[in-house]
Amino acid sequence: MQATMNKRILVTGGAGFVGSNICARLLEQGHHVVCMDNFSTGAEQNVAALLDNARFSLLRQDITQAIAVDVDQIYNLACPASPIHYQADPIGTLKTNVVGALNILELSRQRNIPVLQASTSEVYGDPHVHPQSESYWGNVNPIGPRACYDEGKRSAETLFFDYRRQFGLPVKVARIFNTYGPRMHPSDGRVVANFVVQALSGRDLTIYGDGTQTRSFCYVDDLVAGLIAMMNSGPEVTGPLNLGNPEEFTIRELADIVLELTNSSSRIVHQPLPTDDPRQRLPDIAKARRLLGWAPTIRLREGLVRTIAYFETVVAKQSLVTAYVSDPSVPR
């Protein structure tokens, strides 16, 4: 542990869901953290509690602009991660993935420092192989509505490994599977946030398709531990490495668990499945187990209890704001 202390670390997308959790964990470990975010989807409240820490600094900047900061490591998490957000500006999403990766890699090359790319299980598309291992090249629609994210992340991986081959850069690529937990955006359209907020608000839970499609859900603390372990692994560990929870659930099973844990009387309704939505998603994490000694420890129910507790506060605040707007006599 001592060898990894007292570093100055850049976290791009650091005000986002995963990024803010990484910032908090790195500060706990004694590092200095530079959080860079343009706040297109990141939230100031995600890092509000960190602002008083003398080892934390906030840089408001878009990753598509040239970056000049004095750091020892880089975690690149700058990109909208939910379909609602990344499809709202598909060209911007693609630029964030490709131009942003180039800017980060150039900073890494100038300083000769390790850089970790937060890639995604979406590089596998709607897979023909189950579970998905890192050797699978994927089944991605390059011109569909999700391509700005899927192909953007695939292109970023290409850039990272080309920089390694051409310049010997110390790169690392992690493929992140479905992750949930505190600091998720309540309206980002991802299934755990959707279900929990809908259940707590007494609204219908929306399942897209028949609910038999599967996902694996990794609690954010486990993911953060995996990302930090990968960053601090030896230079021979470049990835790509799958980081996710190898327990598989159908979307209907997830909905039933959320209803049970929230004691909600919400109904389940069905909507058409979005274009190119994967039918199955399950990581093979054998490489991460072997190379990092990492595996998730938090089971879905335990993680959901923690997540529900977080969203209970969020939903309560939203209800108070709504009440205040409609009746100014309601106390703030």
Q: What is the residue-averaged pLDDT of the chain? A: 92
Q: How many angstroms separate the CA atoms of 123 and 154, rounded?
A: 6
pTM of this structure: 0.92
Q: What is the longest distance spanned by two Cα atoms in the chain?
A: 65
In-domain check, residue 116: yes
Whole domain around residue 145: which residue ranges? Answer: 2-180+217-246+280-298
Q: Check pLDDT > 50 for residue 331.
A: no
How many structural domains compose the chain? 1
In-domain check, residue 306: no
In-domain check, residue 185: no
pLDDT in tens, 40-71: 999 999 999 999 999 999 999 999 999 999 99
- What CATH number is attached to the domain comprising 124? 3.40.50.720
Judge whether 275 and 309 are in contact, CB under 8 Å. Answer: no
Tokens of 82: 């939910």
In-domain check, residue 251: no
When pLDDT is cut at 50, 70 and 90, the band that residue 327 belongs to is very low
* Burial class for 49, CB neighbours closer than 10 Å (0-12, 13-18, 19+): exposed
In-domain check, residue 323: no
In-domain check, residue 21: yes
For the question of residue 149 being annotated catalytic, the response is yes
Model pLDDT, residue 83:
86
In-domain check, residue 147: yes
Model pLDDT, residue 316:
67
Judge whether 89 and 26 are in contact, CB under 8 Å. Answer: no
Tokens of 44: 């100031």
Q: How many angstroms separate the CA atoms of 323 and 326, rounded?
A: 5
Residues ≥6 apart with Cβ < 8 Å to 74 = 9, 10, 11, 12, 104, 107, 108, 113, 114, 115, 116
In-domain check, residue 324: no
Q: Which of 149, 163, 180, 219 is catalytic?
A: 149
